[in-house]
Chains A and B, each alone.
Chain A
Amino acid sequence: MALPLAALALSGCAVPTFGVKPGATTSSKSVYHLWVGFTIGALIIGVFVLLLIAYAVLRYRRKDDSIPRQVQYHLPLEWTYVIIPILIVFGLFAATLVVENKELANPKTDVTIDVNAFQWGWKFTYPGTNAVVVGQTTDAPTMVMPVDTNVHINLTSTDVIHGFYVRAFNFSRYALPGVDNQFTFNAVKTGTFFGQCTQLCGLYHSLMFFNVKVVSKSAYQTWLAQQNNAGAAQAAATVNQQQTNTYVPTKPTSGSGVK
């Protein structure tokens, strides 16, 4: 039952969205179809069972003190409600596998973004360039990425576990300390999308926002060039500042602490 339903959903007929949108990436759309398939199945089963319960409690409401027939067991019926659910479950599992494999595929990518979560903000770095975007709590950073491109994300955390969640991408992933979590986004439309930390990470968990801005490929290149130059200048400034501010121990010890 579930598999044809999932197929129906995957074919993209005009069905209700049940609160989930197709989203802004290629895989968010498959996830959305899976959602619709699951929901149609759940609604059919749920309404059927609720009607059975309603019928039982209304139709067989106590009328007198007589004792009903003490019927117990009906093996064919019992096997029916074992086997049909098993078939449904395997249907749901098959649909899950198809979508999951698609979503977690790691295709060849042109753009890589390192996302680093920390208490309580985000740092987006673009390897191979000097572009860095960082911001925390009320100053939410924006991750810029090109449309129609496989964008590879390396997700890490410097301290505790955070949740990298973009509602419009129908996706979230934990940022784990010591683990390099990798996945790919392929955005299908431009726009700015809201993101937020979903895994409790301490005091300012409620304020750990970020934005994802999907721009055209040319706009992305322009942005990256700007950031690259600005980043280079800033990096130089930071190095200078660090040099001037270098902490010099009063009693320098050989070895430790010296790079």
Chain B
Amino acid sequence: MTDVLQPPADIPAHDEAHGHDEHHGPTGILKWITTTDHKIIGLSYTVTSVIMMVIGGFFAEIIRAQLATPNGHLVSLAQYNELFTMHGSVMIYLFVGPFAFGALANIIVPIQIGAPDMAFPRLNALSYWLYLTGSITMLSGFFTAGGAANFGWVGYAPLSNSLNTPGSGADLWIGGLLLTGFSAIFTGVNLCATIFYLRAPGMTMFRMPIFTWNLLVTAILILLAFPVLTAGLIMLYADRHFGTHIYSVAGGGVPVLWQHIFWFWGHPEVYILALPFFGMATEIIAVFSRKPVFGYKGMIFATLSIAALSLGVWAHHMFTTGVVLLPFFSIMSLLIAVPTGIKIFNWIGTMWRGQVWFSTAMLMAVGFVVTFLIGGLTGIYLASPPLDFFTHDTYFVVAHFHSVVMALVMGAMGGLYYWGPKITGYLLNERVGKFQFWFLFIGTQVFTLPQYVLGLKGMPRRIAIYPHNPEWKMLNDWSSLGALLIGISTLLFVANIVVSWKKYPAGDNPWDAHTLEWFTTSPPPHHNFYRLPPIRSERPTWDYNHPEHRALGHGSHKNEVAAEVVHKAPHS
């Protein structure tokens, strides 16, 4: 018996025109509409969510243009409220999340664990169609008489009730969010089932790649958090239309209840968004340093503790309400810095004494770490109530979470440069990619760093004009310039897709990567694999390609020679 499953002789080699199972499905547009193949669904997710990023980014550019002067007249106050509401909603609900657990997770997780597809392919297709319809529903608010939702992406009651926001744009926002929420829940179910039940023989839990681990934890968080949001939204809708008074004082309700429900979802959501990108950065940094993940198990425990802590910190968004000043929420929030720090040190440890290859993907991953470090350190301030009191709802907070989410954007771009060739079979142009990175990285810092100072100078968030404080103009101009640079980086990305279109064939494993997805073809065949390598560690493809370079655990250094001798012995 050999370690490698060779394809039976009667199956044509995978690089021939079609595998035996490729002819059954429809082709063309019908294929995209009817497919249950996780890779095609994942590609649909990728394209849709990147379009959402461009739409949300366009809103951001208008917002920054408006704020470039103290008395901007580009948009009205009402339009401004719609713009930042939809900017936040599109970015959080329709781009970052679906990109993380819909697009890349859908494509990569099954291949990373050696599965032929997701556990529930039809449910997976339903997830995508719910996401698409939810996105269209939410954005269609712009075409209603009253305009789109305008109460901020957090939709605080009672501003979001039917008295203060009577338009149907708000209802479409709720409806769109319900649809995408169900999409996320179904994806969470699917990811859990896939990762628990469809792992290839030999792929034990502690041999799963970090990306898959993080998506498992993300999926569990989705299942814990999203139903709460769904329930809260239904109650909000009932308040608006069925005369309930759950969030209104007049009927004996409690407005702050909405904030509890929203942030009970909203804080785990932060990690639902972040963990997949932590996973991407971990994979990319390890591959492009040509070393195993430094503290592989420490990384997993850090992810698990972040997830556990994230369920007990929601009230740090509510310190200024004055009704939840328990020190519990402060210490829990501060403690999240510990596992996050573990991750950062592990990333550094992975690069240490490696051969760090600065492809665009690696640049993006390092840019992610640096930007996330800034966002993380300023987050520590916000966990301390006295410091949160005077920075909350100012541009300090805006800057903090934009450092975080712009780090995620870099992670997303890194993921696209790293895994894109696996899905499409073609590499992107590295030169354009590096330009894109520097525009994105420098743009992000020029965009966020002045906002920290603006926040400390007292500029509140969500204001369209600042007539009494013209001295804020210069910093706002810098921030707008940064937004412009980020916009240029997005255009460079689109341009890169155009100029690289089917130009640079990738081959199966262009990066000499570690995990199973790089063992199959690019793009993978219908059910992903014709053969699998033996899975003896978290790096099966690397072990197969470099059998003499296995990972050396701590303490094994002295026995290195002995280990290599043992390894060279014939396999049993």
Which residues on A are within 8 Å of B, measured CB to CB?
A: 19-20, 27, 30-31, 34-35, 38, 42, 45-46, 49-50, 52-53, 56-57, 60-75, 77-78, 81-82, 85-86, 89-90, 92-93, 95-97, 99-100, 103-104, 159-161, 163, 165, 167, 169-174, 176-179, 181, 183, 194, 196-207, 209
> Does residue B62 face the partner (Cβ distance < 8 Å to A)?
no
> Does residue B344 face the partner (Cβ distance < 8 Å to A)?
yes
Q: Hey, what's the 0/1 contact readout for B337-362 against A, CB within 8 Å counting as 1?
A: 11001101100110111111110000
In the bound assembly, the distance between CA atoms of A100 and B295 in angstroms comes to 37
Chain B residue at minimum C-beta to C-beta distance from A75: B554
Which residues on the B side are within 8 Å of A159 (C-beta)?
158, 164
Q: A72-B293, A96-B386 are in contact. Are A85 and B338 (CB under 8 A)?
A: yes
B466 to nearest A CB, angstroms?
8
Interface size bracket, B side: 35 or more
Which residues on the A side are within 8 Å of B464 (C-beta)?
206
In the bound assembly, the distance between CA atoms of A209 and B380 in angstroms comes to 29
In the bound assembly, the distance between CA atoms of A31 and B391 in angstroms comes to 11
- Is the pair B552, A53 in contact by a Cβ cutoff of 8 Å? no
Q: A173-B320, A174-B322 are in contact. List 4 more A-B contacts (CB 8 A).
A: A89-B337, A100-B384, A165-B394, A206-B466
- Is the pair B81, A200 in contact by a Cβ cutoff of 8 Å? yes
Q: Hey, what's the 0/1 contact readout for B217-257 against A, CB within 8 Å counting as 1?
A: 00000000000000000000000000000000100001110
In the A-B complex, the 3 residue pairs with the closest CB atoms: A167-B458, A178-B249, A198-B393
- Is the pair B321, A71 in contact by a Cβ cutoff of 8 Å? no
- Is the pair B458, A56 in contact by a Cβ cutoff of 8 Å? no
B432 to nearest A CB, angstroms?
21
In chain B, positions 146-166 with a C-beta closer than 8 Å to chain A are 151-152, 156, 158-159, 164
Q: Which of B330, B344, B460 lies at the interface centre, i.e. has the most chain A CB atoms within 10 A of its CB?
A: B460
Q: A81-B341, A92-B334, A197-B460 are in contact. Are A71 and B393 (CB under 8 A)?
A: no
- Is the pair B390, A60 in contact by a Cβ cutoff of 8 Å? no
> Does residue B370 face the partner (Cβ distance < 8 Å to A)?
yes
**Option from B159, B458, B552 in Cβ contact (under 8 Å) with A71:** B552
In the bound assembly, the distance between CA atoms of A31 and B456 in angstroms comes to 13
- Is the pair A92, B355 in contact by a Cβ cutoff of 8 Å? no
**Option from A30, A174, A205 in Cβ contact (under 8 Å) with B320:** A174
> Does residue B13 face the partner (Cβ distance < 8 Å to A)?
no
Which residues on B are within 8 Å of A, measured CB to CB?
A: 77-78, 80-81, 151-152, 156, 158-159, 164, 249, 254-256, 289-298, 320-323, 325, 327, 330-331, 334-335, 337-338, 341-342, 344-345, 348-349, 351-358, 366, 369-370, 373-374, 377-378, 380-381, 384-387, 389-390, 392-394, 452-453, 456-458, 460-469, 546, 549-554, 557
- Is the pair B386, A30 in contact by a Cβ cutoff of 8 Å? yes
In the bound assembly, the distance between CA atoms of A146 and B463 in angstroms comes to 31
Which residues on the B side are within 8 Å of A64 (C-beta)?
355
A-B contact pairs, 16 of them (CB 8 A): A30-B386, A35-B381, A57-B356, A63-B355, A68-B290, A69-B552, A72-B293, A73-B554, A74-B349, A95-B384, A100-B386, A176-B255, A177-B255, A196-B458, A201-B159, A205-B463
- Is the pair B151, A73 in contact by a Cβ cutoff of 8 Å? no
In the bound assembly, the distance between CA atoms of A194 and B349 in angstroms comes to 48
In the bound assembly, the distance between CA atoms of A171 and B348 in angstroms comes to 38
B561 to nearest A CB, angstroms?
12
**Option from B77, B385, B554 in Cβ contact (under 8 Å) with A74:** B554
**Option from B321, B369, B373, B392 in Cβ contact (under 8 Å) with A176:** B321
In the bound assembly, the distance between CA atoms of A171 and B393 in angstroms comes to 11
- Is the pair A165, B458 in contact by a Cβ cutoff of 8 Å? yes
Which residues on the B side are within 8 Å of A35 (C-beta)?
381, 387
Which residues on the A side are within 8 Å of B323 (C-beta)?
176, 179, 181
**Option from B80, B159, B256, B389 in Cβ contact (under 8 Å) with A160:** B159
A57 to nearest B CB, angstroms?
6
- Is the pair A161, B331 in contact by a Cβ cutoff of 8 Å? no
Which residues on the A side are within 8 Å of B467 (C-beta)?
207
A105 to nearest B CB, angstroms?
12
Which residues on the A side are within 8 Å of B295 (C-beta)?
72-74, 78
- Is the pair A200, B358 in contact by a Cβ cutoff of 8 Å? no
In the bound assembly, the distance between CA atoms of A179 and B321 in angstroms comes to 9
B294 to nearest A CB, angstroms?
6
B171 to nearest A CB, angstroms?
18
Chain B residue at minimum C-beta to C-beta distance from A41: B380
B61 to nearest A CB, angstroms?
19
- Is the pair B290, A67 in contact by a Cβ cutoff of 8 Å? yes
Which residues on the A side are within 8 Å of B386 (C-beta)?
27, 30-31, 34, 96, 99-100, 103
B239 to nearest A CB, angstroms?
14
- Is the pair A73, B394 in contact by a Cβ cutoff of 8 Å? no
In the bound assembly, the distance between CA atoms of A46 and B345 in angstroms comes to 12
**Option from A70, A72, A100 in Cβ contact (under 8 Å) with B385:** A100
- Is the pair A172, B392 in contact by a Cβ cutoff of 8 Å? yes
A3 to nearest B CB, angstroms?
13
Chain B residue at minimum C-beta to C-beta distance from A74: B554
- Is the pair A173, B460 in contact by a Cβ cutoff of 8 Å? no
In the bound assembly, the distance between CA atoms of A77 and B555 in angstroms comes to 13
Which residues on the A side are within 8 Å of B297 (C-beta)?
73
B555 to nearest A CB, angstroms?
8
Q: A73-B553, A160-B158, A179-B322 are in contact. Are A31 and B387 (CB under 8 A)?
A: yes
- Is the pair B366, A172 in contact by a Cβ cutoff of 8 Å? no
**Option from A68, A90, A170 in Cβ contact (under 8 Å) with B390:** A170
Q: A172-B389, A174-B320 are in contact. Are A163 and B354 (CB under 8 A)?
A: no
In the bound assembly, the distance between CA atoms of A46 and B353 in angstroms comes to 22
- Is the pair A68, B291 in contact by a Cβ cutoff of 8 Å? yes
In the bound assembly, the distance between CA atoms of A100 and B390 in angstroms comes to 13
Chain B residue at minimum C-beta to C-beta distance from A80: B345
Q: Which of A70, A99, A167 lies at the interface centre, i.e. has the most chain B CB atoms within 10 A of its CB?
A: A70
A193 to nearest B CB, angstroms?
10
Which residues on the B side are within 8 Å of A160 (C-beta)?
156, 158-159, 164
- Is the pair B390, A72 in contact by a Cβ cutoff of 8 Å? no
B105 to nearest A CB, angstroms?
25
A61 to nearest B CB, angstroms?
5
In the bound assembly, the distance between CA atoms of A90 and B463 in angstroms comes to 36
- Is the pair B353, A71 in contact by a Cβ cutoff of 8 Å? yes
**Option from B335, B352, B557 in Cβ contact (under 8 Å) with A56:** B352
- Is the pair B151, A200 in contact by a Cβ cutoff of 8 Å? yes
In the bound assembly, the distance between CA atoms of A198 and B290 in angstroms comes to 49
Chain A residue at minimum C-beta to C-beta distance from B331: A93
B559 to nearest A CB, angstroms?
13
Chain A residue at minimum C-beta to C-beta distance from B466: A206
Q: A46-B377, A176-B321 are in contact. Are A68 and B384 (CB under 8 A)?
A: no
In the bound assembly, the distance between CA atoms of A183 and B297 in angstroms comes to 47
In the bound assembly, the distance between CA atoms of A89 and B549 in angstroms comes to 39
- Is the pair B389, A72 in contact by a Cβ cutoff of 8 Å? no
In the bound assembly, the distance between CA atoms of A60 and B354 in angstroms comes to 6
Chain B residue at minimum C-beta to C-beta distance from A104: B325
- Is the pair A177, B249 in contact by a Cβ cutoff of 8 Å? yes
- Is the pair B390, A171 in contact by a Cβ cutoff of 8 Å? yes
- Is the pair B550, A60 in contact by a Cβ cutoff of 8 Å? no
In the bound assembly, the distance between CA atoms of A197 and B331 in angstroms comes to 28
- Is the pair B294, A194 in contact by a Cβ cutoff of 8 Å? no
Which residues on the B side are within 8 Å of A99 (C-beta)?
386
